[in-house]
Amino acid sequence: QVQLVESGGGLVQAGGSLRLSCVASEITSSFNFMGWYRQAPGNQRELVAQMWSSGTTNYADSVKGRFTISRDNAKNTLYLQMNSLKPEDTAVYYCRVNGGGRNYWGQGTQVTVSS
């Protein structure tokens, strides 16, 4: 059972930056897939950014050029650097990993962007 703990969320003004962290209980290099998702009130959970074990990344169109996904295998940590934040980025952000054919989710961290 993989445990994921997100942190780094908070309240920020539009145009500001935040860096989210997701610490895994297992080595991140063992995962086939790692990603960040978000869910705003009344909306479905959506993919924000993803990284495959090869290092290939993919981003939602709404965050391209503003968000960067990365990982530090030595720290078992996945990151999401978020720059030029907009009010529409307000949501609970979750990390997800796939390992051994199973998906695991963190508990989420709230990001609120004020206008």
pLDDT in tens, the chain (115 residues): 899 999 999 999 999 999 999 999 987 778 889 999 999 999 999 999 999 989 999 999 999 999 999 999 999 999 999 999 999 999 999 999 998 889 999 999 999 999 9
Where is 97: in which H helix or E strand?
Answer: strand 91-99
φ/ψ (deg, to 5) at 108: 95, 155
Looking at residue 39, its pLDDT comes to 98
Looking at residue 30, its pLDDT comes to 81
Cα–Cα distance between 76 and 60 in angstroms, integer? 24
Looking at residue 8, its pLDDT comes to 98
Looking at residue 99, its pLDDT comes to 84
Where is 87: in which H helix or E strand?
Answer: none
> Per the structure block, which two tokens stand in for 108?
């989420």
Residue 44's contacts (CB-CB under 8 Å, 6 or more residues apart) are: none
Looking at residue 78, its pLDDT comes to 95
Torsion of CA 4, 66, 58, 1, to 10 degrees: 0
Residue 71's contacts (CB-CB under 8 Å, 6 or more residues apart) are: 28, 34, 51, 77, 78, 79
